[in-house]
Amino acid sequence: MIDLHCHVIPGIDDGPETIEDSLALCEAARAAGTDTIVATSHVNWDYPTIDAVVIHTGLARLNSVVGEAAIGLRLRPGAEMGLTRVPDLSDAEVGVLRLGGGPYVLVECPHQGGTVIGIEDSLRAFAKRGHLILLAHPERSPTFRNHPRMLGGLLAEGMLSCITARSLTGDFGRTTQAYAWQLLEQGLVHAIASDAHDLVRRPPDLGPALENAGLEAGQIEYFTGEAPSAILAGEPVPEPPRIRGQIPRRRPPKQRRTPRWLTTER
């Protein structure tokens, strides 16, 4: 499995704090069936010091540690770019922050703020510079959710979309969950990634999360293998499967502990 969106480089954004934390995240990802991670640290104004040099230096160090640990995980460069920072980046800088060295740039759909016209114009201006765009977690963006035709229009212009695995299981709320499934049913999703940041709150459990959501093996292969491989290689991305008739699984309710005064000691 290929995880196209994962915050794995230590100490530079809101991902792992230490190299030990990063190594643990990598081990967990490999145990969950992932064999390739694209390191997509934030490149936005919340982290103004992060640039191509910082990302590639941090990734080289992490790759060395992962190699010594013989985890069997491949790490490739990338970035999650904020729309407001894109105009200040040269095409050369963007070029070395594309996903895995391929033609696609992962662009973050804003969590807050931004009008439809403003977002669309910014994306189109970026695309006109010669960069192919993979939209990160549109299902978690209020602007995209509130304007359901917006994503389809952008995809018709050649952009692709990547949602977060745990959006399908309700970890980001029921509204996001319902919209994520709607996008799948409409064939508007080309890849699914973990967007992992740590082991607990945002873990790298890409495969298990999709299994828990109820996706079939062939569907998981498309979203985590076939399509991501094409994206990284710059090859035509096959049409996504339309997933119909699948009801999102709700997480089982927590088991209540039996009060001690009701138990019988033996």
Domain spans of the chain, in order of start:
2-235
Q: What is the pTM of this model?
A: 0.91
Query: Tell me, what's the pLDDT at 242?
Result: 83
Cα separation, 246 vs 9, in Å, equals 35
Contact 210, 223 (CB under 8 A): yes
177-236 pLDDT per residue, tens? 999 999 999 999 999 999 999 999 999 999 999 999 999 999 999 999 999 999 999 999
Residue 36 · residue 76 · CB < 8 Å: yes
Strand 80-81 vs strand 104-108: parallel, antiparallel, or unpaired? parallel
| Domain 2-235, CATH class in plain words | alpha beta
Partners of 19 in the beta sheet? none
